[in-house]
Amino acid sequence: MGKVMIEPEEAWARVMAAVSPLPPRRFSLDEAAGRVLAEDVRAETDYPPFAASTVDGWAVVAEDDSPRRRILDAEGRAGEMPSVAVIPGTAARVMTGAPLPPGADAVVMVEDSAVEGEFVRFTRPVRPGENVRPAGSDLAAGQVVLAEGTMLGPAEVGLLATVGRFEVWAYPSPRVAVLSTGDEVVEPWESPGPAQIRDSNRYALMAAVREAGGIPMSLGIVPDRPEVLREKVEAALAQADVLITSGGVSEGDRDHIGPLLAERGTVHFNRVRQKPGKPFTFATVRGKPCFALPGNPVSALVSFELYVRPALRRMAGHTRLRRPEATVRLRHPVRPDPVRTEFVRAVVEREGDEWWARTTGAQASSRLLSMRGANALLRVPPGPDALPEGTAVTAILIAWPEDR
Ligand code: AMP
Ligand code: MG
C-alpha cells in the first residue's frame, strides 16, 4: 500500500469498521465493576420481598381512633418475622427494616410518641402507608433491572447483588501489547548515550490503555531491524487482542513497521490529514487491530486518544465511544494549520456562563509538556487565517477540570 492521506473522520470510520466487541465471558460480582453487561438481568422476585418499616417506631392500624394504644409484648426487629398481629387499640414496637406485623398498615415514628406505662399515645395523626416500604416497591418480579449494554458502576453492582446475580455475562477487557521501536530508544532507568532518548511512549501508552479500560502488556523496546520486529509482533499477537507500537512509521529507511503489517495482514490506512499524528498506520492481522502510532510522544498520545481509546472501548462492549464535546471560546488567537485539522492541547475552564480555552503553550509534537494538564483537544479546522480571541471552536473534553 502506498501512502494515502485520509481525513480524521474517515480514519475513525475505518477503525470502527475493523473492530468489534470481544466475546462475552462470565464474571463474578467482584470482577464486574467497570465492565459492560452482555445480558438482560431480571428481578426473580419482588423487592423488597416483604413490607417493612422505614423507621424505628410503632406499627399500628392507621384508621384506629383510640386515644392511646396498648403496647403488644413483642418487638419487630430486622431479620425476624413478626410474632404478633396488630389490631385496633394496640401497637407493636418495630425497628427500621423489620417486616410489618400482620394487621398493621402504618408506622408512627418513635419521636412522635409518648409511652405511658403499658400504653403509648401519639402526638400526631398517622396516614395509612406512612413509614412503610411496601413489598415490590423497588423492583417487581420479572422486571429487567439492568439491560444488556449497561455499564456496571457501583449502583449496578449493588443491583446485581440485590437480585442474587453473583455471576454475570459481561465483556472482557482487551489485552493490549505495547512496544516501542527505535535504535535510539532506551529504558527510563538507563542513562541515554549522546544520541539516545528514554522511552516515554510505552509508559504513557500503557497508562492510557489502563485509563481506557484495557489491560496493558509491556513488550519492551525493539531496534529498527525487520527480523526482530517481526518476531516481537508475532509474539505480541499470540498473547494480546490488540497491538500498539510507536515509532518507525515515518518515511525513513528504518521505518519497517508499515511494510511488516502489510505483509502479515491488511493495512487500512497509513496517513491521516491531522496534526499531530499524520504518520499513523492502522492494520488488522488475523482480525486483531494493530495501531502503529508515530514516535513523537504527543502524536502517539493524541492518536491514542482519537482512535485507539474508542476502539478499546468498543472491544469492551461500550457503545458510547467518543468523549463529550463542547463549544468553547478561544482565550487568545490560534493560527490553524493551512491543510490539516489540528488537535490543539488546551485547558478549558468555566468563566461565568461560558467555557473558555487556553492552549498549553508551544504545540510541538515532541513536547510532552503540551499534553500535561490538558483537559481538552480543540478541533481546529485547516485554514489560511489566524482565529482571533473569542472564536468559538469545538473542544473534545478528555478530562474534567477536577482531574487536572
Ligand atoms: P519515528 O516515528 O520513529 O521517526 O520517531 C519520531 C520521533 O519520536 C523521534 O524523535 C524519536 O526519537 C521519538 N521517539 C520514538 N520513539 C519514542 C519513544 N518510545 N519515546 C519517546 N520518544 C520516541
Ligand atoms: Mg524511529
Other Cβ atoms within 10 Å of 355 Cβ, number: 17
Q: How far is the CA of 2 from the centre of ligand 1 (A)?
A: 22
E strand or H helix at 27:
strand 25-28
Check if 76 has its Cβ closer than 6 Å to any atom of ligand 1: no
End-to-end, the C-alpha distance of the chain in Å comes to: 41
Residue ranges for the chain with pLDDT beneath 70? 1, 401-404
- Class of CATH domain 25-46+138-170: alpha beta
E strand or H helix at 238:
helix 226-239
pLDDT of residue 364: 95
Q: Whose CA is nearest to atom 6 of ligand 1?
A: 295
- Secondary structure (DSSP) of 302-350: HHIIIIIHHHHHHHTT-S--SPPEEEEEESS-BPPPSSSEEEEEEEEEE
Domain with CATH 3.40.980.10 in the chain: 5-23+172-315
213: left (phi over 0), alpha (psi -120 to 50) or beta: left
Q: Are 90 and 72 in contact (CB under 8 A)?
A: yes
Indicate the DSSP class of residue 224: S
pLDDT of residue 235: 96
pLDDT of residue 25: 98
Torsion of CA 255, 259, 262, 264, to 10 degrees: -100
Q: How far is the CA of 68 from the centre of ligand 2 (A)?
A: 88
pLDDT of residue 8: 98
Q: Which fold has domain 325-397?
A: Beta-clip (2.40.340)
Please choose from 201, 296, 302 the residue to mutate so as to test ligand 1's pocket, defined by most ligand atoms within 8 A of CB: 296
- The CATH homologous superfamily for domain 5-23+172-315 is MoaB/Mog-like domain (3.40.980.10)
Task: Say how far residue 105 (Cα) sits from the centre of its chain.
Answer: 44
In angstroms, what CA-CA distances link 139 with 49, 128, 150?
9, 22, 17
Q: Whose CA is nearest to atom 16 of ligand 1?
A: 295
Q: How far is the CA of 362 from the centre of ligand 2 (A)?
A: 23
Check if 197 has its Cβ closer than 6 Å to any atom of ligand 1: yes
| Residue burial 114-144, b: 16+ Cβ < 10 Å; e: rest | eeeeebbebeeebeeebbbbebbeebeeeee
Check if 201 has its Cβ closer than 6 Å to any atom of ligand 1: yes
Backbone angles phi, psi at 314, to 5 degrees: -65, -40
Please choose from 200, 232, 246, 271 the residue to mutate so as to test ligand 1's pocket, defined by most ligand atoms within 8 A of CB: 246
Q: How far is the CA of 192 from the centre of ligand 2 (A)?
A: 15
Closest ligand 1 atom to Cα of 181:
16
The single residue listed with the C-alpha cell 468555566 is 350
pLDDT of residue 251: 82
Nearest to 78 by CA among 56, 104, 102: 56
Check if 277 has its Cβ closer than 6 Å to any atom of ligand 1: no
Determine the Cα–Cα distance for residues 349 and 60; give it in Å rounded to an integer.
Answer: 56
pLDDT digits (tens, 9 = 90+) for 330-356: 999 999 999 999 999 999 999 889 999
207: left (phi over 0), alpha (psi -120 to 50) or beta: alpha
Determine the Cα–Cα distance for residues 105 and 85; give it in Å rounded to an integer.
Answer: 11
Nearest to 350 by CA among 376, 369, 370: 376
In angstroms, what CA-CA distances link 118 with 82, 90, 382?
20, 10, 85
The C-alpha cell at 79 is 431479620
> Half-sphere exposure of residue 349, counting CA atoms within 13 Å on the CB side?
10
pLDDT of residue 1: 66
Nearest to 260 by CA among 271, 275, 270: 270
Entry field: residues in the chain: 404
Domain with CATH 2.170.190.11 in the chain: 52-133
Domain with CATH 2.40.340.10 in the chain: 325-397
- pTM of the predicted model, to two decimals? 0.93
pLDDT of residue 403: 54
Q: How far is the CA of 17 from the centre of ligand 2 (A)?
A: 29
Check if 295 has its Cβ closer than 6 Å to any atom of ligand 1: yes
Q: Where are the beta strands (DSSP E) in 54-129?
A: 57-60, 69-76, 90-94, 106-109, 113-116, 119-122
pLDDT of residue 254: 84
Query: Is 1.10.1740.10 the CATH classification of the domain at 52-133?
Result: no
